[in-house]
Amino acid sequence: MEIRIQRIFLVPAIVLGLGSAVILSPSANAQEPQEETSSEDKDGGLSNIKIFDPQVERREVDRDAIDNENWEIGVHYGIISIEDFGSSGISTLSASYHVTEDFFITAAYGEATAGESSFERLSGNVVLLTEEQREYSHYNVALGFNVLPGEGFIGRDLAFTSSFYLMGGLGSTKFAGDNRSSVTLGGGYQVLFNDWFSVHFQLKDHFYDIELLGSAKTANDLEFSTGFTIFF
């Protein structure tokens, strides 16, 4: 009987001892490694984007030279109405310096030959001026201002740089054997076909005092001309 009781208590003791040994063993306490949560699961996929550091090879680029010509010279031909002496052809040389895109300084020299006055034509044999005195010339220095820069179109696909400009200056007019101070006012339209060649259409008026037909007055000689200029 006593041996049976010992067996009854011995079996639970053995079971408890084995259970304690299993619980306290290091392998039982070790936690299984958790799977690493991917950055895509954490941040919704944004952190999983790889950032590249590109190695760009620099290459040499040849830059086109931008033309910056400021000087402009040209020749013009047109018609000038010399007051009391009709209209005559006039040839003009011009030189301009472009201070900025809007302002420029221009100098011009023109020559013409005056015709007969209405008094000479009506009176028959009366001659007011000799051939030498009929030689007409003027020069002036003026300040110009581009008021309407833009483009001029020929057809639908062809466009050229253009501008309207105003100008005013002082000079001298030689006529009837005398030199007279004069004022020049006018304007024009310029069309640039490329970066060095352009065409001008100009309208100018030259004012000066004259006393030729018995009374002093201020003459105004209206001039219209077309010219070709080059930049350098």
**How do the domains of the chain map onto residue ranges?**
71-231
Measured distance CA(150)–CA(38) in Å, rounded: 62
Residue 163: pLDDT above 90?
yes
What is the pLDDT averaged over residues 83-94?
94
pLDDT the model gives residue 40: 47
Beta-carbon contacts of 198 under 8 Å, excluding residues fewer than 6 positions away, are 72, 190, 191, 192, 228, 229, 230, 231
Q: Residue 98 corresponds to which tokens in the numbers above?
A: 């472009």
Please give the residue that has the higher pLDDT: either 28 or 16.
16
Q: Looking at this protein, which amino acid is placed at residue 106?
A: T
Residues 80 and 220: beta-carbon distance below 8 Å: no
Report field, pTM of the whole predicted structure over 0.85: no
Phi/psi for 128 (5° steps) reads -85, -35
Residue 29: pLDDT above 90?
no
Residues 77 and 91: beta-carbon distance below 8 Å: yes
Residue 64: pLDDT above 50?
no
What is the pLDDT averaged over residues 70-93?
95
CATH number of 71-231: 2.40.160.20
pLDDT the model gives residue 124: 72
Cα dihedral across residues 20, 22, 26, 31: positive or negative: negative
Q: Does an H or E element contain 15, and which? A: helix 2-24
Q: Maximum Cα–Cα distance for the chain, whole Å?
A: 181
Q: Residue 121 corresponds to which tokens in the numbers above?
A: 């034509």
What is the pLDDT averaged over residues 192-201?
92
